[in-house]
């Protein structure tokens, strides 16, 4: 590694023992460190952008005395972000005498590997599932499909891998293959706290400290789960002399419930953030599962997605439709206190990947209104592939209809402009109007006219405009009680039952 960038030590737990690496540059990925420094080549690079899952490893973190397991993409995860965590790679599962872990054995038994290159990634996603399901219990086919949606296989057609996921829980766990949770938690606690030595990779654990570091190091690259910034490294070949990682900040890792809103900390992973949103509105379950693949949701944060502000990021149209706001924070050195301001999410953005945030400001919280009585909310996503794809068009609609009149409405749209946007003209066409087919058709026309989307590799402008209006029609049809008009919520069995 030729580099002028100075580097710091990295320590994490592997196979129950601390692994310490000297001189790891702040912008090196976990995959590079595993393959190049530790010579553990079981973990593969398939795409270098978190889309294929060949590089999947599992991270373990002690939370309230228990281990929490997360399968993540090591190719776009910065190595230093696993400081103080436990890491499992595909080499770490088998027993000392070579007995395979059930996640591995099931793959063998079900003929789940052909070329074998995606296999380590699948095995690690299976291992993550195994640990999170009390040894692979109760995994049905939809669960297997959802949890493996971030792993691509080009050989098998997946059927044997899905079988393996469902059957691994029936296999015995060889004695050498189990995770000793208590010992691991203890070993994690015993790892040295090296925060004070940190110079190039800053990973504060308290909010005030984070904001002060931000003020002190305005040039540092801010990262959360790195599921986008990781690509700046692997694909755009950017280098960072200093990184400020927000993911360890205690306050920002919480989801807090208030009477009228929930507040999601900027360091809450997409997995946990969507779980909180689905808890509030169960109809979002499918939409949540379609956000990237599980390893990306396990690393990436909702705050990162929002701060990043990609026009095709799927969480923003959803949040705009929900009427969410964001809280920006900074350290006010004069007052020696934290300063903050709050604004509606749609007002955060000023243009393509630009926003109103000051250099010393960080996005700290996302506030999402709780469901109100009479609220009807739906979010739709159109993409080439059902799972793990970026939307061509995304539309989120919330209405409150009282006595046949639209009292309140908010519409968020993605994929139609340089930023995620609120469809104000469409809202105007609906607000105060009677909730009828004529009103909806007028709103459909308004929605199609409101944006001038571009044509690109995901869809043509004409398709985007047409479908935007069609989705509003679907929303209308669903509000009229029409069932089974959405493939997302249908499976073969329910389709059969309709007949």
Q: Give the separation between CA 475 and CA 465, rounded to whole angstroms.
A: 16
Q: Specify whether the backbone of 250 is left (phi greater than 0), alpha (psi in -120 to 50) or beta.
A: alpha
Q: Using the rule CB under 8 A, is 480 a contact of other proteins?
A: no
Q: Tell me the window of 78-86, 107-115, 191-199, 242-250 that interacts with other proteins (CB under 8 A).
A: 107-115
Q: Which of 79, 307, 390, 443 binds other proteins (CB under 8 A)?
A: 390
- By residue count, the chain amounts to 499
Which residue among 63, 115, 182, 206 contacts other proteins (CB under 8 A)?
A: 115
Binding residue for other proteins, selected from 110, 249, 306, 326, defined by CB under 8 A = 110
User: What's phi and psi for 444, nearest 5 deg?
Assistant: -60, -45
Applying CB under 8 A, among 9, 11, 21, 117 the residue interacting with other proteins is 117
- Of the candidate residues 8, 73, 156, 221, the single one contacting other proteins (CB under 8 A): 156
Beta carbon nearer to other proteins, 154 or 279: 154
CA geometry: angle at 395 spanning 391 and 397, to 5°? 155
Does residue 265 sit in helix, strand or coil?
strand
Residue with tokens 């997995």: 271
Would you count residue 97 as binding other proteins (CB under 8 A)?
A: no
Long-range CB contacts for residues 314-317, cutoff 8 Å, separation at least 24: 314/287, 314/290, 314/381, 314/390, 314/391, 314/394, 314/414, 315/270, 315/273, 315/291, 316/345, 316/412, 316/414, 316/420, 317/379, 317/394, 317/395, 317/396, 317/412, 317/413, 317/414, 317/420, 317/421
Which of 16, 65, 116, 374 binds other proteins (CB under 8 A)? It is 116
Site for other proteins in 404-463 (CB under 8 A): 456-460, 462-463
Start-end of H helices in 235-312? 270-280, 285-289, 294-299, 302-308
Window 51-90: residues binding other proteins (CB under 8 A): 51-52, 54, 89-90
* CA atoms of 209 and 251, how far apart (whole Å): 11
Does position 345 interact with other proteins (CB under 8 A)? The reply is no
Of 167-226, binders to other proteins (CB under 8 A) are 167, 170-172, 174
Q: In this complex, which beta carbon is closest to other proteins, that of residue 421 or of residue 468?
A: 468
227: contact with other proteins by CB under 8 A: no
CB of 14 to other proteins, least distance (A): 13
Q: Is residue 37 at the binding interface for other proteins, with CB under 8 A as the rule?
A: no
154 is a site residue for other proteins (CB under 8 A): yes
Q: Does 99 bind other proteins (CB under 8 A)?
A: yes
Among 63, 108, 356, 437, indicate the residue that binds other proteins (CB under 8 A): 108
- Let me know: does 338 contact 211? Beta carbons within 8 Å: yes
Selected range binding other proteins among 197-205, 261-269, 322-330, 478-486, rule: CB under 8 A: 478-486
Residue choice 9, 11, 109, 400 for contact with other proteins (CB under 8 A) = 109
Three-state DSSP at 444 gives: helix
Neighbours of 485 (CB within 10 A): 11
Among 11, 18, 133, 158, binds other proteins (CB under 8 A): 158
Interface pick for other proteins out of 56, 131, 151, 325 (rule CB under 8 A): 151
- The verdict on 31 binding other proteins (CB under 8 A) reads no
User: Can you tell me which of 213, 223, 316, 467 binds other proteins, judged by CB under 8 A?
Assistant: 467
| Other beta carbons less than 10 A from residue 243's beta carbon | 23
Q: Given the structure tokens 């080439």, which residue do they identify?
A: 384
Integer Cα distance of 311 and 288 in angstroms: 18
Report the nearest approach of other proteins to the CB of residue 365 (Å): 29
Residues 293-312 that bind other proteins (CB under 8 A): 293
């Amino acid at each position: 590694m030729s580099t002028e960038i100075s580097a710091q030590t990295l320590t994490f737990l592997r196979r129950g023992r601390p692994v310490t690496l000297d001189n790891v540059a702040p912008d090196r990925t976990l995959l590079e460190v595993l393959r190049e420094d530790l010579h553990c080549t079981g973990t593969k690079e398939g795409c270098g952008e978190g889309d294929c899952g060949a590089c999947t490893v599992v991270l373990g973190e002690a939370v309230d005395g228990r281990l929490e397991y997360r399968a993540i993409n090591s190719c776009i995860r910065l190595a230093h972000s696993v400081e103080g965590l436990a890491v499992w790679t595909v080499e770490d599962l088998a027993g000392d005498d070579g007995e395979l872990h059930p996640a591995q054995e099931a793959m063998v038994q079900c003929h789940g590997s052909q070329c074998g290159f995606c296999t380590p990634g699948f095995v690690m996603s299976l291992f993550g599932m195994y640990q999170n399901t009390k040894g692979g219990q109760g995994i049905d086919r939809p669960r297997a499909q959802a949890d493996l949606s971030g792993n691509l296989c080009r050989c098998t057609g997946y059927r044997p891998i899905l079988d393996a996921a469902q059957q691994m829980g029936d296999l015995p766990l060889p004695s050498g293959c189990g995770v000793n949770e208590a010992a691991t938690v203890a070993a994690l606690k015993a790892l040295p706290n090296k925060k004070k030595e940190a110079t190039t990779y800053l990973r504060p654990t308290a909010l005030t400290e984070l904001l002060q570091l931000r003020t002190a190091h305005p040039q540092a690259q801010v990262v959360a789960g790195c599921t986008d910034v990781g690509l700046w490294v692997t694909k755009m070949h950017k280098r960072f002399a200093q990184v400020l990682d927000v993911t360890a900040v205690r306050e920002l890792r919480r989801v807090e419930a208030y009477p009228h809103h929930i507040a999601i900390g900027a360091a809450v992973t997409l997995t946990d953030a969507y779980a909180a949103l689905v808890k509030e509105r169960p109809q979002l379950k499918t939409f949540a599962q379609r956000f990237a693949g599980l390893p990306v949701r396990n690393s990436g944060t909702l705050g990162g997605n929002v701060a990043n502000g990609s026009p095709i990021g799927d969480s923003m149209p959803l949040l705009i439709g929900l009427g969410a706001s964001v809280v920006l924070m900074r350290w006010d050195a004069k007052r020696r206190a934290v300063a903050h301001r709050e604004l509606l999410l749609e007002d955060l953005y000023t243009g393509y990947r630009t926003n109103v945030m000051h250099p010393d400001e960080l996005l700290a919280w996302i506030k999402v209104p709780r469901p109100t009585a009479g609220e009807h909310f739906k979010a739709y996503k159109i993409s080439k592939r059902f799972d793990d794809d970026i939307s061509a068009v995304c539309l989120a609609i919330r209405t409150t209809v009282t006595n046949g009149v639209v009292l309140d409405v908010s519409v968020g749209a993605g994929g139609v402009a340089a930023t995620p946007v609120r469809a104000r003209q469409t809202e105007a066409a609906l607000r105060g109007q009677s909730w009828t087919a004529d009103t909806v058709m007028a709103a459909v026309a308004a929605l199609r006219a409101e944006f001038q989307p571009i044509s690109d590799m995901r869809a043509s402008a004409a398709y985007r405009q047409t479908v935007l209006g069609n989705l509003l029609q679907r929303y209308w049809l669903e509000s009229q009680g029409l069932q089974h008009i959405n493939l997302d919520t249908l499976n073969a069995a329910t389709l059969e039952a309709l007949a």
